[in-house]
Amino acid sequence: MAGPAFRAAAVRVRTPATSANLGPGFDALGLSLGLYDDVVVRVAESGLHIDIAGEGADTLPRDESHLLVRSLRTTFDLLGGQPRGLEVVCANRIPHGRGLGSSSAAICAGIVAARAVTIGGAEKLDEAAMLELATEIEGHPDNVAACLLGGFTVSWMEAGVARAVRMDPADSIVPVVFVPAKPVLTETARRLLPRTVPHADAAANAGRAALLVEALTRRPELLLPATEDRLHQDYRAPAMPESVALVNRLREDGVPAVISGAGPTVLALVEDGAADKVARLAGEGWAANRLALDAGGTSVLPLA
């Protein structure tokens, strides 16, 4: 049986940064942020050529081990076969190893680009199948759900299959990210988590995570209590003491602040009028950026 046919033209895919957990929503809640990686993929006659600009230009591999290429290959296999060759151009803006979903962005870019460059790819791989595939590659759905769907997402596993629902965050919320100079590996942060937690802490987090859905979508004035966490942030403090200290300092000033994903970036969710003032609170050693909320998720864009 013949393999799939591919488009001759290149495709351009844009993927957003994401923040998972958002305090109490450990491994379940995700938010899509207005900071983007762009990838252009073209089917070539032979070989593999990768060009990388921006984040990771000096450190990322330019061969089959690149996460984006592995995601492309996995998706092409699912769609029926590999192209003869590939040209991949990456413009990376999402910081690596900072808890802003750079790996999820690479995975989602690969999946969406492979689907877009394969004729009939959208019919073979729908939105639910893309989420399932991205979760298989990433290992958990919280970041990839927000990256694919945009907005604010709640994700979970059901009978081994990733599921997610998407909501629109309130327009008045402005994310402010405080990015430190040094990364922390997700594996390092996860190893610090205990196997069990006190029942009272689990109950408290369940209530705050439920409240966070209401706060993020309809009542931002509740964000400070809604972002309180007892399950992971304090346990991870030895790997990122400055980040946890900044979270605590911001919260003492009434700013809803959390560790973004596995850290070490700190995310504050503030009302529009306070964003610039909050961005000035971190002090030296932090790159503070006011971002937009992303509503579109991973998208195929016209070539510039």
Distance, in Å, from the CA atom of 69 to the CA atom of 111, rounded to the nearest integer, reads 10
99 marked as binding residue: yes
Structural fold of domain 173-290: Alpha-Beta Plaits (3.30.70)
104 marked as binding residue: yes
232 marked as binding residue: no
pLDDT at 2: 65
Can you give the three-state secondary structure of the chain, one letter per residue? Answer: CCCCCECCCCEEEEEEEEEEECCCEEEEEEEEEEEEEEEEEEEECCEEEEEEEECCCCCCCCCCCCHHHHHHHHHHHHHCCCCCEEEEEEEECCCCCCCCCHHHHHHHHHHHHHHHHECCHHHHCCHHHHHHHHHHHHCCCHHHHHHHHCCEEEEEEECCEEEEEEECCCCCEEEEEEEECCCCCHHHHHHCCCCCCCHHHHHHHHHHHHHHHHHHHCCHHHHHHHCCCCCCCCCCHHHCHHHHHHHHHHHHCCCCEEECCCCCCEEEEEEHHHHHHHHCCCCCCEEEEECCECCCCCEEECCC
What stretch(es) of the chain map to CATH 3.30.230.10? 11-168+294-301
Q: In this structure, are residues 154 and 88 in contact, taking their beta carbons and an 8 Å threshold? A: no
96 marked as binding residue: yes
Give the pair of three-digit tokens for residue 226: 């809604």
103 marked as binding residue: yes
Whole-number Cα distances in Å, 233 to 182, 184, 193, 283: 18, 14, 9, 21
pTM: 0.95
Buried residues in 100-137 as b, exposed as e (16+ CB within 10 A)? bbbbbbbbbbbbbbbbbbbeebeeebeeeebbbbbbeb
Q: Could you report the average pLDDT of every consecutive run of 10 residues in the chain (304 residues)? A: 86 98 97 98 97 96 97 97 97 96 98 97 96 97 98 97 98 96 84 94 97 98 98 94 96 97 96 89 90 98 81
95 marked as binding residue: yes
What stretch(es) of the chain map to CATH 3.30.70.890? 173-290
pLDDT at 38: 98
19 marked as binding residue: no
**CATH tag for 11-168+294-301 (out of 3.40.50.300, 3.40.50.970, 3.30.230.10, 3.90.1150.10):** 3.30.230.10
Chain position carrying tokens 């590939």: 86
Dihedrals φ, ψ of 236, to 5°? -90, -5
pLDDT at 304: 63
